[in-house]
Structure 1
Amino acid sequence: MELTTVWFLAIAGLWIGYFVLEGFDFGVGILLRVLGRDEAERRAVITTIGPVWDGNEVWLIVAGGATFAAFPEWYATLFSGFYLPLFAILVTLILRGVALEYRGKRDDLLWRGRMDTLITIGSVVPAFLWGLTFANLVRGVPLDASHEYVGSLGDLLNPFALFGAVAFTAVFVTHGAIFLALRTTDDLRRRANRLATRAGLVAAILTVGFLAWAQDLRGDTGSIVLAGLAAGALGVGLVANKLAREGWAFMGTTVAVGLAVASLFTALFPAVMPSTLDPQSTLTTVEAASTPYTLKLMTFIAAIVLPLVILYQGWSYWVFRKRVTVEPVAVS
């Protein structure tokens, strides 16, 4: 297998890891005010992701760095064409991180309410814009013969991309609700479970519609099979959630997110950015790749570092695996 293909698969794997892990804490952030009826419950909701949210974002950093090193022309074209959405994602992720870190610095309900608002905004905006971005990657964007983006922001706001953005957000809300049901107790757990069932039905309809549309645009046998398996895994997860088997439910949504993202990358390959103007202008893995020496060096480094990162993150999830209870909180 050529190293360009290996690194395309590696980057796809990094994005799968990012969306699986960051997806549920996006969902938790979106649901912070929905399920957190008072300060004690909102604190419990945030505690479920407190030890892991920053580690989840490492996958985004590594995915971006790997894309820059392995496929510099893909990176350049992507950031020139998607500058505004990606900049908005970056800003809102920063605001979200600041809010999560500084929320508990003052015993003041007004202060914490403002931080909660930033957490919500910093969760829903990236979830929506990542869906918009990846839907446009699959659909294609206007590229000229030099692989330069020649469209406008309006070209990114097409019906398919907007539908994908809503579908991504709905799936993350469901993923987050099931995670909260898995990690909390008593009434908060029951409400998260019920909300996951309702949100999951909406997410299932949107996901099936989006994946079917994506396969119609650019699908092949492999991506169609993965998309079907993703829909099936989501259904299994929702059934398990209905039976209050949150562990199996979370596994179901995890597999569904992973397979759905894998189906999009499979539909995309060997292109990295299809052109809607001329098929000859489509940017492929071979055209976007770094030199063979760079790819070999990256492969050697990744073989050493990536397993260590996975082991550390797995250990952190194991340490903080216990359910979170709602404790009374005294604030001024």
Structure 2
Amino acid sequence: MNEHEGVWVFIEQNNGDIEGVSLELLGAGRKLADKLSVPLSGILLGMEIKSLAAKAISYGADQVYVIDDPVLKDYRTESYMKGVIMLAEKYKPEIFLYGATANGKDLASAVATDLSTGLTADTTMLDVDVEKRLLEASRPAFGGNIMATILCKKHRPQMATVRPKVMKALEPDNGRKGKIIEEKIELSESEMRTKVIKIVKDITKKVKLAEADIIVAGGKGLGDSKNFELIHELAERLGGTVAGSRDVVEAGWLPHEQQVGQTGETVTPKIYFAIGISGAIQHIVGMKNSELIIAINKDPNAPIFDVATFGIVGDALEIVPKLIEQFKQIRIETGGEVSYVGKI
């Protein structure tokens, strides 16, 4: 395993731009590579995508391996797997990170199988044991009740998929220099067993939790679904988006696409209200990187207060109506948009 060296990040691209999770992973990968004193490499596959390599370098990569070929125009497991495996067998990375997107998870599992190595899925924390050169990939386990750190001691590369929004991208440095290494794939369209006929965009009206600046989330501490209407009212007053804990979704108070947590969405809003949410690990991993967290709970020892910026101990059914009234009084019109300022 001594021949394996370097940290790699799969650079997922769509519609001519790099996915946000890949930029976040370059930030995380930069920290791991610096600890190990090895280069950080981006792996970029597609058609007419060489120009994106400079962006990956500006976000922390030392070098980018590029395979630019018409057979890679659209994502397909077979073609992308062959390209990645060819690079991995030739250059032998020590650590290989992928975004936990639909394509990232599909590709990572296929590559791990072919390379006979381990893969930690849906990782929420990354670190490295420098002395033993082991990737420490942590994720909630047993229904979110504990954090498990998973090691791959006997095989390389050590691989993990990482959920979007749990890592932070570096500030881009457009003056940063790096190396672009072009490779070719020995695969023609006629050899492909699948073909992309048409790509249909998702046009369903789902709640875009990941894009929300203000999220008002409620938990089972509100008592019943009728009381949960306070969450909707506060969110409407703030111009925010409603979310909930897993218990709320399982009780049928909200649809699954509005769940925050390990088995739901990972979010990083500017303001996150956690109302009647105790703060199980399963939930916290999905919202802990919010800029400002305001927690309301009867239990002064609730774990949610450990990650909260501001905490209010008390009955949410008494506190939330007062908040709604206060926000009514401090509404400010700014350029056609409504924003709210004040202290809780």
TM over 0.5: no
> Normalised by the size of structure 2, how large is the TM-score?
0.24
RCO comparison, higher one (Cα < 8 Å, 6+) = 1
Higher strand share: 2
Higher helix share: 1
Larger Rg: 2
> Normalised by the size of structure 1, how large is the TM-score?
0.25
